[in-house]
Amino acid sequence: MIDTSLFTHFDRICDAPGATSKLRESVLELAFCGRLFEHSVEWPLKTVAEVASDISPGFACAKTHQVEDGFVHLRTHNIGTNGRLNFDLIIRVDPDKIDVKKAGLKKGDIIFNNTNSQELVGKTCLVDRDCDYAFSNHLTRIKLHKEVDPNFFVAYFMLLLKRGFFSRLCNRWIGQAGINLGSLKTVALPVPSLAEQRQVVAKLDELMALCDRLEVAQAERERRRDRLAAASLNRLNNPDDDASTFRDHAHFHLRHLSRLTTRPEQMSQLRRAILSLAMLGKLVPQDPSEMHSEIADRNTKRSHATQISLDEIPFTLPDKWRWSRLGSVAALINGDRGKNYPNREEYVASGLPFINTGHIQPDGSLSMEFMHYITREKFNSLGGGKIKPGDLVYCLRGATLGKTAFVEPFVEGAIASSLMIIRLDEIIDNKFMYYYLLSPLGRQQIARFDNGTAQPNLSSASVKLYVIPVPPLAEQHRIVAKVNELMSICDQLEAQLTTAQTESRRLLEAILHEALAPAVAVS
């Protein structure tokens, strides 16, 4: 009989990748090795050719045959992987253009998907009503002798699909794969008595319905958790909350962090929220004794062209903070784009680094393994784009627009034309600036100034106009320390999530192995 641990342990295994799908496959495995109920004789095997009274391919439908009111023409996407027809994106064809012998489908007929992408060849479903349908030449209609229950047949073919049987059987060519009629006719399936088939089908219906309920319950649990996480993050990002309200939200989120963040995309949202809070001035307390005369003095000296208008200011800053343009607190330096620009033939095994976008890692470091190098002579020939310690490099072009890295551990080197050096004044912590550029506020600046062409692109003139919040330098240091601390917690939580998923997967595999260990192998 079936091992109920498959279901009793579901709460512990449901976080494993594809848990419900694997559970369904295991139920099918148990059904066709005879362990859903006791039986004393081995089931005989018969081929599709032996159990089918008719096997007929469909026909191609030309666009000129399509009409608004006609026969439904079933195509590959109308065949679900769950053994059922669906009616998404249906087309209709002129009845006069249809071969009548290939149009009528009767209740109990089976549709087999003979041509598709390799992993989807073999989708099989039951026609559950009499209807005037046409069907594509990528589909095959199978009519069975009375000795085989169509639901039993479809369930077995679902198992073969899940096990990759059809993927291995099919012929493959560019873009798609297929199974011809000759190969389909040779596929063997177990054929117990009709009474046993119906007993298996009834039990499968019961257990698949339970899988459906588990899947719905799991999805609803995830939706509730997602809504709670989204609401909590939204409140954390609300710049209008007073200090006490914000503290309450922050304490709630941190207290329930492990339950609110269960997927990688939620961790990304949390990291963005941390950076957003940093730029809002809500991560660390302000110190009234800290002054910000440097920015105030710079603001008075800025030209009219760099004045910040009210509609550019997204929120109110804490006391002692000031808004500034990036160009007012940093030198922005392009790479040398002239005749001495290094080409690949000039790269050497060791020398001075020549940094491009591909060297920037997600954590803000530069790849040492794949770094390109140029000679001292080539470096000296360049008229610009030379790094110094403390610089940031910033990507100006392409899909990686806005990628940022510290130049350390290099103290000398040059940048490719796709990058720009950001060399900060002494009043800006380069790690604070790094977090600003990664934050939602920094990403919004990219959206403001991206030129909107097919190839995303920024200019150094645009980047100079970025609007940045500038706290006192001491507070910048505190913010950086707090962001580092919280990002470390995120790293730990991500590791825990990975461990939890791994443990869930191992438990699932152990339970399935125990349940299926005595099973007879399915062809």
**pLDDT average, residue stretch 56-63:** 84
Question: What percent of the chain lies above the pLDDT cut of 90?
Answer: 40
**Structural contact between residues 334 and 418, judged by C-beta atoms closer than 8 angstroms:** no
For residue 328, what pLDDT band results from cuts at 50, 70 and 90?
very high
CB 427 within 8 A of CB 294: yes
In the predicted model, is pLDDT for residue 258 greater than 60?
no
**pLDDT above 50 (res 462):** yes
How much is the pTM? Answer: 0.60
Percent of residues, the chain, with pLDDT higher than 70 = 78
pLDDT confidence of residue 523: 44
Secondary structure string (H, E, C) spanning 3-66: CCHHHHCHHHHCCCCCHHHHHHHHHHHHHHCCCCCCCCCCCCEEEHHHHEEEEEECCCCCHHHE
Is 355 or 455 the better-scoring residue by pLDDT?
Answer: 355
Give the range with max mean pLDDT: 63-67, 209-213, 352-356, 518-522: 352-356
Band of residue 500 on the pLDDT scale cut at 50, 70, 90: low
pLDDT band at 257 (very low <50, low <70, confident <90, very high): low
Tens digits of residue pLDDT in 156-166 = 999 999 989 99
pLDDT over 60 (residue 439): yes
pLDDT band at residue 213 under the 50/70/90 scheme: confident
Q: Quick check: 513 pLDDT over 60?
A: no
Residue for token digits 């198992």?
Answer: 159
Residues 6+ apart with CB under 8 A from 223: none
Start-to-end Cα distance in the chain:
22
Measure the CA–CA gap between 235 and 164, rounded to whole angstroms.
47
Residue 341: what pLDDT? 92
Quick check: 302 pLDDT over 50? no
The better pLDDT of the pair 229, 50 is held by 50
Quickly tell me which residue has 């026969």 as its tokens. 71
> Residue range 467-489: average pLDDT?
91
- 411 or 273, greater pLDDT: 411
Ordered by where they begin, the domains of the chain are 1-25+213-283+474-523 (no CATH), 44-191 (3.90.220.20), 293-471 (3.90.220.20)
More confident residue, 21 or 480: 480
502 phi, psi to nearest 5 deg: -65, -45
